[in-house]
Amino acid sequence: MLLVYFTVLLLLPCSQRVVCGDEYHPDIDEETRLKVEDRVSRNAGESTAQYWYEEARAAIRKRQVRDQRRGVARNLVMFLGDGMSVPTLAAARTLLGQRQGNTGEEAKLSFENFPSVGLAKTYCVNQQIPDSACTATAYLCGVKNNYGTLGVAAAVRRRDCAASTETANRLESIAAWALEHGKDIGIVTTTRITHASPAGAFAKSANRNWEHDGLVREDGHDPAQCPDIAHQLIHEHPGKHFKVILGGGRRNFLPNSTRDEEGTRGRRTDERNLIHEWQDDKRERNLSFAYAWNRAQLMSLMESPPEYLLGLFEGTHLQYHLEANKTTEPTLSELTEIAIRSLSRSEKGFFLFVEGGRIDHAHHSNYPHLALDETIQLSEAVARAASMLPEEDSLLVVTSDHAHVMAINGYSPRGENILGPSNDRDSDGVPYMTISYANGPGARAQNNGSRPNVVVENDFGRLRWRSHADMPLSSETHGGDDVAVFARGPHHHMFTGLYEQSQLPHLMAYAGCIGDDAVNYSHCQ
Ligand SMILES: *[C@@H]1O[C@H](CO)[C@@H](O)[C@H](O)[C@H]1NC(C)=O
Ligand SMILES: *[C@@H]1O[C@H](CO)[C@@H](O)[C@H](O)[C@H]1NC(C)=O
Ligand SMILES: *[C@@H]1O[C@H](CO)[C@@H](O)[C@H](O)[C@H]1NC(C)=O
Ligand SMILES: *[C@@H]1O[C@H](CO)[C@@H](O)[C@H](O)[C@H]1NC(C)=O
Ligand SMILES: *[C@@H]1O[C@H](CO)[C@@H](O)[C@H](O)[C@H]1NC(C)=O
Ligand SMILES: [Zn+2]
């Protein structure tokens, strides 16, 4: 069934009728969306960047009254757990504690010790429950926009290439703001580097799926007018100025006539090798640079990283940490450490974005063990950064883009295995898991009116065993809950409260005295 579905996707071009998307994120039919949108009336101002800038400014003015602190954050680091909902945090800290031989619930993820915590609202302009593209635009560009679009305001509908080229609709990210203030920039992720979250730092695209030129063409557009996301990273402002670029996704940088170092075929249809083009550019400009495709190469650069570092460790996403080949695959902590070592040499400080991107993927597959372990990996990466960067001059912000529909349910006693069945039974006397999902591929058919007993399944307890879900779906969905925001460093108080997700980069800019508004902040004088 799944195979048939994907085969159909491969054969037909994406259109309003054929719903396309990546494995984890099926697109939403645009006709259906239009019908829904006709019924609701939105504030027309929401389609402009100005609206969201003003929304954030007003909130900063309010909070600023109580911000007595002075000082400026020289370094700005944003950590993003993709799909790291509040229940995911609670379950991951419990797993962490249980791995250490304790009951678990009392444990803390590294960033749960940060002095300020807030909540961010994640809806997008045309969507109650968002995706990683509109949320990346919010937390990196400071503007809410449409589902599936990146770095462009909500006046741009998904796949509207022409509208995305209009200057008024194009947004600059906090990475570009920081660059303008002479800071160095790095991006780190466990997904393809062209995937929605990291792309929010550098791309302007009417469709998050336009990761290579062939996908722009498939949607009927000309990559010369709307360049793909990989191309933008290597050749356009601000991506081409980034000093550290670490993640996966080699296939989007290589021509489809070639295979990469590990045998993955390239996806580009324009015969261009963007990895060579990146290297040639640095060579021509006589800059120190290195390209790494495996862990050993990366670790050999750790002591004295080159000025420009590009590391692409997989054809697509990095492997899940618990399944990874440790000789080829660096950990998120290692990636974070080399990024900070490299960027710390910058005279005027830096902006770094670090994503634990596969929490989301594991949840989509109803794999709680992998999702929680990826969360613990992010926690370790934050701990590594916190130990390297002084609290007085470095602002660390840890947050998530959106929630998932994982629940921690039942009435298990203290210290019960967080990955095991509840102490309880359902009304038919059948066991159920403490961690389950409202929907996803883990849904099972009932036997004669009652749930099957999942704990006797052959693969129960394996990493890729799916926990049970109520409603069958090929990919579990995101959730519409608020997400947590943790902050440490200069002006961390500004991150308390409940606010729009699009305020986040404005708050970071406030703390770091970057962006257009800095001239008006007294602590920036
Ligand atoms: C590469 O892309 C071109 C252009 O779409 C196509 O004609 C060709 O068949 C592709 N090659 C492979 C090996 O897929
Ligand atoms: C390139 O850099 C090297 C080492 O810094 C220097 O010796 C050389 O003169 C530079 N060449 C050019 C063309 O700038
Ligand atoms: C890990 O990758 C290396 C290099 O490709 C390979 O030689 C080795 O067999 C792999 N190890 C495992 C456990 O797959
Ligand atoms: C279904 O449940 C009923 C009532 O408990 C029972 O009589 C019947 O034998 C069951 N059928 C099967 C196929 O298990
Ligand atoms: C700074 O404040 C002045 C005076 O209130 C105002 O006119 C100006 O628009 C502000 N600048 C920015 C970038 O907000
Ligand atoms: Zn997702």
* 14 part of a folded domain: no
Q: What does the pLDDT read at residue 510?
A: 97
* 233 part of a folded domain: yes
Q: What does the pLDDT read at residue 45?
A: 86
Q: How far apart are CA 485 and CA 503, in angstroms?
A: 11
State which H helix or E strand residue 76 sits in. Answer: strand 75-81
State which H helix or E strand residue 356 sits in. Answer: strand 350-356
Domain harbouring 140, CATH code = 3.40.720.10
Measure 448 CA to ligand 4 centroid, in angstroms: 6
* 285 part of a folded domain: yes
Is 221 marked as binding a ligand?
Answer: no
Beta-ladder partners of 421: 433
Is 82 marked as binding a ligand?
Answer: yes
Q: Whose alpha carbon is nearest atom 3 of ligand 1?
A: 269
- Which atom of ligand 3 lies at the shortest distance from residue 262's CA? 5
Q: Is the CB of 516 under 6 A from ligand 5?
A: yes
Question: What share of residues in the chain are helix, strand, coil (percent, to 5)?
Answer: 35, 20, 45
Q: Is the CB of 517 under 6 A from ligand 5?
A: yes
- Are 77 and 386 in contact by the 8 Å Cβ rule? The answer is no
Handedness of CA 196, 6, 126, 169 (dihedral sign): positive
Q: Which ligand is nearest to the CA of 313?
A: 3
3-class secondary-structure state, position 56:
helix
Q: What does the pLDDT read at residue 40?
A: 65
User: Residues with catalytic annotation?
Assistant: 132
Q: Whose alpha carbon is nearest atom 10 of ligand 1?
A: 256
Q: How far apart are CA 261 and CA 335, in angstroms?
A: 20
Pocket residues: Cβ below 6 A from ligand 1: 214, 256-257, 269
Q: Is the CB of 447 under 6 A from ligand 3?
A: no
Is 67 marked as binding a ligand?
Answer: no
Angle at 210 between CA 132 and CA 335, to 5 degrees: 55
Q: Is the CB of 236 under 6 A from ligand 5?
A: no
Measure 240 CA to ligand 6 centroid, in angstroms: 27
Is 106 marked as binding a ligand?
Answer: no
Measure 327 CA to ligand 3 centroid, in angstroms: 7
* 18 part of a folded domain: no
Largest CA distance in the chain: 72
Is 402 marked as binding a ligand?
Answer: yes
Q: How far apart are CA 288 and CA 307, in angstroms?
A: 5
Q: Which ligand is nearest to the CA of 314?
A: 3
* 416 part of a folded domain: no
* 432 part of a folded domain: no
Q: What does the pLDDT read at residue 506?
A: 98
* 231 part of a folded domain: yes
- Are 407 and 467 in contact by the 8 Å Cβ rule? The answer is no
Query: 33, 112, 56: which is closest to 507 by C-alpha?
Result: 56
- Which atom of ligand 3 lies at the shortest distance from residue 326's CA? 1
- Which atom of ligand 5 lies at the shortest distance from residue 57's CA? 14
Q: What does the pLDDT read at residue 36?
A: 66
The number of distinct structural domains making up the chain is 1
Q: List the chain pLDDT tens, one digit each, 525 residues.
A: 343 333 333 444 454 444 566 778 877 777 777 776 666 667 778 889 999 999 999 888 877 766 666 799 999 999 999 999 999 999 999 999 999 999 999 999 999 999 999 999 999 999 999 999 999 999 999 999 999 999 999 999 999 999 999 999 999 999 999 999 999 999 999 999 999 999 999 999 999 999 999 999 999 999 999 999 999 999 999 999 999 999 999 999 999 999 999 999 999 999 999 999 999 999 999 999 999 999 999 999 999 999 999 999 999 999 999 999 999 999 999 999 999 999 999 999 999 999 999 999 999 999 999 999 999 999 999 999 999 999 999 999 999 999 999 999 999 999 999 999 999 999 999 999 999 999 999 999 999 999 999 999 999 999 999 999 999 999 999 999 999 999 999 999 999 999 999 999 999 999 999 999 999 999 998
- Specify the pTM: 0.91
Query: 244, 467, 203, 264: which is closest to 346 by C-alpha?
Result: 244
Q: Is the CB of 32 under 6 A from ligand 3?
A: no
Q: How far apart are CA 524 and CA 382, in angstroms?
A: 27
For residue 181, the enclosing domain spans: 45-407+477-524
Q: Is the CB of 448 under 6 A from ligand 3?
A: no
Q: Whose alpha carbon is nearest atom 5 of ligand 1?
A: 269
* 392 part of a folded domain: yes
